[in-house]
A = this chain, B = another copy of it.
Amino acid sequence: MSDSTSFLEIPVGLEQIREAADRLSGLAHRTPVLTCSALDERVGASVFLKCENFQRIGAFKFRGAMNAILQLSDDERRAGVVTHSSGNHAQAIALAAKLAGVPACVVMPHTAPSIKRQATEGHGARVVSCEPTVADREATVARLIDEHGYTLVHPYDDWRVIAGAGTAALELIEDAGPLNVVMAPIGGGGLMAGTCLATAGSSPSTRLVGSEPSRADDARRSLELGQIQPSDNPKTVADGLRTSLGSRPFAVLSRHLERIVTVEESEILEAMRFIWERLNLIIEPSCAVPVAALLAHRVPEVRGARVGVILTGGNVDLDPMFQSLAERWLGEGR
């Protein structure tokens, strides 16, 4: 690694992740680990699915957000927190802040679906709109910090968020027993970084494999070239993985990740369907990415092995589906 960011000091290890787990106890769900013989047969491995789609707000993001907010000083708590997200982190911060009695403000592009805005406001957070550009988003966040003294809780480039995310892998390893390989998807990299630190700390011989859509493979390219390669608004159904890799995750992945495998759009959709149909779990497209890599046999070392996968979340807009269902079903009987 030639780039200096990969030599960032890493202040999070097993100890900090265990502290995060204690902090989250009774607030975050201890989500179940599920198995499925049809999946095992297709993959040729024993697959253990850590179901963070059952986490509060329907995604692992609650862990990092709550862990960060619980470490604020009294002054910081009074002033409140700010973040930017149009996805699961927005709701995670809103709920975590509500539970902690801390004011929260979320900067969201005005192009975000109104359902996301409503869900975030539903937990009592203030939503501030910005233009859908990185520049305006950052300017808006900076202005709000300046005006209100908010503390930023970045969606992934924050050690407290990374440590919180790592608690999912800690529980997975505790509940599934020894694992040969652990996989997760990579967007900003917070989950994969926390997963690496928890796994390397508690099960050092376990191999860590990341996964990305081939249309949003900035983390793969970043690790290959030894410096962060920002992605440019990639077109993938895995909307949670469109963001660029953060510098803190980059430092962790450079040190701990074995490699990153990529999958095609149609493979993501097939994997999502497989999990919906065979496991009766609703997962979002981003969450299907490591499953797609397994179903497409893109990780040959899993053959005959014990593989843990973090299922990251299940927030899908079901409105169009249920509209057509209601027409079909209620129409028939009338």
Interface residues of A (CB under 8 A from B): 32, 34, 37, 53-54, 56, 58, 215, 235-237, 265-266, 269, 273, 276-283, 285, 314-315, 318, 320-322, 324-326, 328-330, 332-333
Assembly CA distance A324 to B328 (angstroms): 14
B318 to A276, Cβ gap below 8 A?
Answer: yes
A269 contact from B32, B56, B273, B325, Cβ within 8 A: B325
Copy number in this complex? 2
- Chain B residues with CB under 8 Å of A32's CB are 32, 34
A326 in contact with B236 given A280-B58, A282-B276 (CB within 8 Å): no
B281 to A236, Cβ gap below 8 A?
Answer: no
8 shortest A-B CB distances, which residue pairs?
A280-B314, A280-B282, A53-B280, A32-B32, A235-B333, A237-B329, A321-B321, A273-B322
A236 to B333, Cβ gap below 8 A?
Answer: yes
- Chain B residues with CB under 8 Å of A329's CB are 237, 265, 269, 285
A265 contact from B273, B278, B333, Cβ within 8 A: B333
> Which residue of chain B is the closest to A329 with respect to CB atoms?
B237
- Chain B residues with CB under 8 Å of A321's CB are 321, 324-325
A280 to B277, Cβ gap below 8 A?
Answer: no
- Chain B residues with CB under 8 Å of A56's CB are 37
A39 to chain B, nearest CB (A): 12
Known: A58-B278, A58-B280. 19 other contacts (CB 8 A): A34-B54, A53-B280, A215-B333, A237-B330, A237-B333, A265-B330, A266-B326, A266-B330, A269-B322, A269-B329, A269-B330, A277-B318, A280-B281, A280-B283, A282-B282, A285-B329, A320-B324, A320-B328, A321-B324
A-B contact pairs, 7 of them (CB 8 A): A34-B54, A54-B279, A237-B330, A276-B322, A277-B318, A280-B314, A281-B281
Assembly CA distance A74 to B273 (angstroms): 41
Assembly CA distance A330 to B235 (angstroms): 10
- Chain B residues with CB under 8 Å of A281's CB are 280-282
> Which residue of chain B is the closest to A277 with respect to CB atoms?
B318
A326 to chain B, nearest CB (A): 6
Assembly CA distance A320 to B236 (angstroms): 22
Assembly CA distance A216 to B321 (angstroms): 26
- Chain B residues with CB under 8 Å of A277's CB are 318
Assembly CA distance A3 to B85 (angstroms): 64
Assembly CA distance A226 to B58 (angstroms): 46
Assembly CA distance A58 to B325 (angstroms): 20
> Which residue of chain B is the closest to A269 with respect to CB atoms?
B326
